[in-house]
Structure 1
Amino acid sequence: MTDRTLADRVEALEMRLTYQDETIETLNQTVTAQWKQIDALSRQVAELSERVREAEAARPAPANEPPPHY
């Protein structure tokens, strides 16, 4: 193997490593943003569930009245 071929291979590997590092960083940023959004949505769902429970607890009990068609 010649020195030039070895140098070309090393350069090609360095380029691939650089692109892989950039891709990994981009993916990391994407995953981090998605987790933040998931966390915010989870908190929102929990809050809305609590509001529904409170609304159901606060509503008056149904009266024992016959349906309107009787």
Structure 2
Amino acid sequence: MRPMSDTELLSARIDKLEMHAAHQEQMIEDLQKVVADQWSEIERLTRKLAAQGVRLEAVEERTDGPAPVEPPPPHY
């Protein structure tokens, strides 16, 4: 097998770099989708938590404030 010429070596290096760049671009797109999905989930959970807070406040108002804190059992 004959040795590769400088042009062939450069071409091979460029091909390898282009493949690497394409792989990184795909990884970035995949990660962006994951981040966007997670952000949507965080927003959904934030809205749900806020709604639960409103419901808890309504229950506390109907029961004359928050539930009293029970003292720990005697074995503590």
Q: TM-score, normalised on structure 2?
A: 0.76
Between structures 1 and 2, the one with greater helix share: 1
Q: 2:27 aligns with which of 15, 23, 26?
A: 23
Q: 1:49 aligns with which of 24, 30, 53?
A: 53
- Which residue of the partner structure matches residue 59 of structure 1? 63
- Corresponding letter in the other structure for 1:28: Q
RMSD over equivalenced CA pairs, Å: 1.4
Q: TM-score, normalised on structure 1?
A: 0.82
Deviant stretches of 4+, over 2 Å: none
- Corresponding letter in the other structure for 1:44: K
Percent sequence identity over matched residues?
Answer: 30
What 5-or-longer segments of structure 2 have no aligned partner?
66-76
The number of residue pairs the alignment matches comes to: 61
